[in-house]
C-alpha cells in the first residue's frame, strides 16, 4: 500500500512530520508533485493526490481546516474523501463510507494527526451489506448509472 500525501502552504510542517513518521514505520509515501509556496491553492494538491490514489492506496490531505481540500478531492472520479476531526470520524469514514482519502486541518498537532492516520491505515474497508450498498449507489451515480431517484 502506498500513502499519497499533499497539503497547501498551511500544512507543510505537519505534512513533513507525518511523512517522517510513516517512513519510520516502513510505509511507502508519495508526496504531491505540486510545489508549495505562500500563494498555493488547496484544489491543486487535492486533484494531484486524488489522481494518484489507485487500488489499495490511501491519501492524506491537509489544508487550513480540511473542508475545502476534501471538497476538491471528491471531484475526482473514484475518490471518497472524508474531512475528519477525530479518530471516530476516521473509523466511520473508512468502515461505513469506504473513504480512500482523509482530510484534516493543519492546526492539529502531530500526535493527534498520527493517531488519525494510524487508525485510517489500520481500519478495514466496509464489509456490512448496508454500507456496501450505499457505496455502490455512489459509484453508480458517479458513473451515470444510478436511476433510482
What CATH number is associated with residue 16?
Answer: 3.40.1400.10
Kindly indicate the confidence band of residue 128, based on its pLDDT and cuts at 50, 70 and 90: very high
9 in Cβ contact with 53 (< 8 Å): no
Give pLDDT tens digits for 38-62: 999 999 999 999 999 999 999 999 9
Instruction: Judge whether 147 lies within some domain.
Output: no
Instruction: Judge whether 78 lies within some domain.
Output: yes
Instruction: Judge whether 80 lies within some domain.
Output: yes
Domain count, the chain: 1
The pLDDT of residue 56:
94
* Among 53, 145, 69, 58, residue whose Cα is nearest residue 93: 58
pTM (predicted TM-score): 0.96
Catalytic residue set: 63, 96
Instruction: Judge whether 127 lies within some domain.
Output: yes
Instruction: Judge whether 83 lies within some domain.
Output: yes
Give pLDDT tens digits for 15-42: 999 999 999 999 999 999 999 999 999 9
Q: Which residue range forms the structural domain that includes residue 67?
A: 2-142
Instruction: Judge whether 149 lies within some domain.
Output: no
Amino acid at each position: 500500500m502506498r500513502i499519497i500525501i499533499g497539503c497547501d502552504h498551511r500544512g507543510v510542517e505537519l505534512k513533513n512530520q507525518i511523512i517522517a513518521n510513516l517512513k519510520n514505520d516502513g510505509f511507502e509515501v508519495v508526496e504531491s508533485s505540486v510545489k508549495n509556496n505562500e500563494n498555493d491553492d488547496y484544489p491543486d494538491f487535492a486533484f494531484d493526490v486524488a489522481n494518484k490514489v489507485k487500488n489499495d492506496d490511501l491519501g492524506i490531505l491537509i489544508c487550513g481546516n480540511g473542508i475545502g481540500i476534501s471538497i476538491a478531492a471528491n471531484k475526482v472520479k473514484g475518490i471518497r474523501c472524508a474531512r475528519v476531526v477525530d479518530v471516530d470520524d476516521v473509523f466511520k469514514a473508512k468502515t461505513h463510507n469506504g473513504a480512500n482519502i482523509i482530510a484534516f486541518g493543519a492546526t492539529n498537532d502531530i500526535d493527534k494527526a498520527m493517531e488519525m492516520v494510524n487508525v485510517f491505515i489500520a481500519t478495514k474497508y466496509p464489509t456490512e451489506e448496508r454500507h456496501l450498498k450505499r457505496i455502490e449507489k455512489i459509484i453508480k451515480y458517479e458513473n451515470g448509472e444510478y436511476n433510482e431517484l
